[in-house]
A and B are shown apart, each in its own frame.
Chain A
Amino acid sequence: GAVVSQHPSWVICKSGTSVKIECRSLDFQATTMFWYRQFPKQSLMLMATSNEGSKATYEQGVEKDKFLINHASLTLSTLTVTSAHPEDSSFYICSAIAGGQADTQYFGPGTRLTVL
Chain B
Amino acid sequence: AQSVTQPDIHITVSEGASLELRCNYSYGATPYLFWYVQSPGQGLQLLLKYFSGDTLVQGIKGFEAEFKRSQSSFNLRKPSVHWSDAAEYFCAVGAGTGTASKLTFGTGTRLQVTL
Contact = CB atoms under 8 A, between A and B. Distances in A.
A107 B44 contact: yes
A44 B105 contact: yes
Contacts of A107: 36, 43-45
A19 interface: no
B42 interface: yes
Interface stretch (B14-22, B23-31, B55-63, B93-101): B93-101
Interface string A82-98: 00000000000101010
A50 B41 CA distance: 24
Contact of A49 (B42, B98, B102, B107): B102
A109 B44 CA distance: 7
Contacts of A102: 98-101
B46 interface: yes
Interface residues of B, number: 22
B108 A43 contact: yes
A41 B90 CA distance: 12
Contact of A104 (B100, B102, B104, B105): B100
From B51, B90, B100, B103, name the one whose CB has the most chain A CB atoms within 10 angstroms: B100
Given A44-B90, A109-B41, A103 B108 contact: no
B67 interface: no
A70 interface: no
A46 interface: yes
B73 to A, nearest CB: 18
Contact of A43 (B51, B100, B105): B105
A111 to B, nearest CB: 11
Given A43-B107, A44-B90, A103-B49, A93 B43 contact: yes
A67 B45 CA distance: 25
A92 B99 CA distance: 22
A44 B99 CA distance: 18
Contacts of B41: 9, 109
Interface of A: 4, 9, 32, 34, 41-46, 49, 93, 95, 97, 102-110
5 contacts: A97-B101, A103-B98, A105-B46, A109-B41, A109-B42
